[in-house]
Structure 1
Amino acid sequence: MRQTKIDDFLELERRIEEEVNRSREKDKILFQQAKLASLGEMIGNISHQWRQPLMEMNSIFLPIEAKITLGQSLENSEILEAIEKLNSITKFMSDTIDDFRDFFLNDKEKTRFKILEQINSIINIVSTGLKTYNIKLDIIMKKNPEIVGYKNEFSQVLINIINNAKDELISRKIENPYIKISVFEENDFVIVTFEDNAGGIRVNPLDMIFEPFFTFEKKNGSGIGLFMSKLIVEKNMQGKLKAYNKNDGAFFEMKIPKE
């Protein structure tokens, strides 16, 4: 009897070890799939990230082209403003390539940067697209904290979440659409939150939105944006990225340690 119990225990132990190893293998496969999606299929993902900046570039040229066509005069300040925006957009597009290329490398250097610096760089890129659809963007900065991390990857997280909110606001034809970004400190953490009034995340369980290749109510979605965002925040910045439904829309909370 005692030998039987020992044999049963050993068999159970063996099965547990097999399940753990099988689970680890699944994690490795999933990680490799994510790596292939962001690196091996880089062109498709870059096109997804570049769609908004390219639209912004087009929207910058349209009023200039209209004035030239109608024989109206162009102020130097208008041309200089357009050039400044174009420089910002092309820099972001170049940085996007670097981000995808270096996403899973371990020899990247972390830098100390201010949150507002990155938010401003993103606003420069998305502002025209938001204005086109009358989407109001509010930025509430209780402080302008510094964090240590990969600032270009941090920008990718910002633009992914903003673009997701924008897409939902447009597709659902929301009246008086808005996106609100709040930045504050809480103990040893920097908190960045994103709110919108697009009606909330219609997925159950809600955390499915962070799974690789998951798309919902999006015809041209790649299903990689939020998955990558969570990886960047939690793997590369040792923080947390969570999503909730709050009031009349989605609520994303990014929690990053100061050091």
Structure 2
Amino acid sequence: MRQTQLDEFLELEEHNKELEKRFQEEVAKNRAKDRLMFQQSKLASMGEMLGNISHQWRQPLMEISSLFLPIEAKLNLDMPVDNKELIESINKLNDITKYMSNTIDDFKNFFAHDKEKIEFELLEQINSTINIISGSLKSYDIKLEIILQKNPTLLGYKNEYAQVLINIINNARDLLIQRKIENPKIKILITEKNNEVITSIEDNAGGVKIEPIEKVFDPFFTYEKLNGSGIGLFMSRLIVQNNMNGKLEVKNKNEGACFTIIIPKI
């Protein structure tokens, strides 16, 4: 009897070891899938960023061209060029090129790999993010409003926070354009409650028109977007949950959808 019990125990122990091995293999596979999807999300964001660069630089390039057109015309007509006019044009040129250089730094920082969590001010990262995408919003006359009740400091991967913001704002922008919304707008509201930092991104695109609404976070669910990859919002929730110990929620309000990022304060 004892031998039978020992055999059963050893068989059960072997079975448990096999289950543990399979569990570890599945965990490793899921982690590999998450890494792959994260890379796909980054590549999709890179495509978006290239478009945003063109939007961000188009206006400054036009301004540079307009600065020197009058001077060129005077030179061609053998008219005198005032030194004051030249200095003013050069100063404006320096301001524009500095702005373009800062924009490139923002893009470069966005794609830099966050090696460790750091403390960062929320407003600074929001401004950097807006600098990346504002040209794209302006080109479609989309009004962006930012309401900051406080400027908290967070501990985390600041570029990943920026990626989440960009994914949500780009999603709102695409729907505002696709649905041809009059007076399109996006509002970002920063608040604090119960030792949590709450970032709400609200639009007036008419809301999420699927049930259940949480389906927008499913992988490869494109939700009306014609050329979407279906991983932006999925990866955004994954980043907030796994890397920020927070939550990403969505609900419909009066005029459109409202995505809310909830992150614990330091």
TM-score in terms of structure 1 length: 0.78
Unaligned runs of 5+ in 2: 1-14, 74-84
Determine which of 225, 228, 232 is the counterpart of 1:221: 228
- Cα pair distance change 1:204/1:142, threshold 3 Å: same
SS at match of 1:55: helix
Q: Which residue of 1 aligns with 2:35?
A: 35
Over aligned residue pairs, what C-alpha RMSD do you find?
A: 3.0
- Cα pair distance change 1:164/1:42, threshold 3 Å: closer
8 Å Cα contact 1:238-1:257 kept in structure 2: yes
- Give the count of matched residue pairs: 236
How many angstroms does 1:161 deviate by? 1.2
Q: Which residue of 2 aligns with 1:79?
A: 93
- Cα pair distance change 1:193/1:25, threshold 3 Å: farther
8 Å Cα contact 1:233-1:240 kept in structure 2: yes
**1:212 and 2:219 aligned:** yes
Q: Which residue of 2 aligns with 1:6?
A: none
Task: Please give the per-residue CA displacement for 1:68-92, whole angstroms capped at 9, x wherever unaligned.
Answer: 5675788345423432332233223
How many angstroms does 1:24 deviate by? 8.7
SS at match of 1:143: coil
8 Å Cα contact 2:111-2:159 kept in structure 1: no
8 Å Cα contact 1:137-1:179 kept in structure 2: yes
How many angstroms does 1:57 deviate by? 2.3
- Cα pair distance change 1:77/1:121, threshold 3 Å: farther
- Cα pair distance change 1:65/1:188, threshold 3 Å: same
The AA in structure 2 aligned to 1:118 is: Q
Determine which of 146, 163, 176 is the counterpart of 1:169: 176
Identity of aligned residues (%): 43
Q: Which residue of 2 aligns with 1:178?
A: 185
Aligned-partner Cα distance in 1 for 2:53–2:170: 11
Residue pairs, 1:37-56, within 5 angstroms: 37-39=37-39, 43-56=43-56
Q: Which residue of 1 aligns with 2:203?
A: 196
Aligned-partner Cα distance in 2 for 1:88–1:241: 30
8 Å Cα contact 2:37-2:235 kept in structure 1: no
TM-score in terms of structure 2 length: 0.76
- Cα pair distance change 1:177/1:45, threshold 3 Å: closer
- Cα pair distance change 1:153/1:41, threshold 3 Å: closer
How many angstroms does 1:204 deviate by? 2.2
Residue pairs, 1:112-191, within 5 angstroms: 112-191=119-198
How many angstroms does 1:256 deviate by? 0.4
Aligned-partner Cα distance in 2 for 1:29–1:66: 56
Task: Please give the per-residue CA displacement for 1:25-65, whole angstroms capped at 9, x wherever unaligned.
Answer: 77765543332133378645522343323332234323434
Q: Which residue of 2 aligns with 1:89?
A: 103
8 Å Cα contact 1:240-1:256 kept in structure 2: yes
- Cα pair distance change 1:44/1:120, threshold 3 Å: closer
SS at match of 1:209: helix
Aligned-partner Cα distance in 2 for 1:40–1:128: 24
- Which piece of structure 1 moves more, 38-47 or 172-181? 38-47
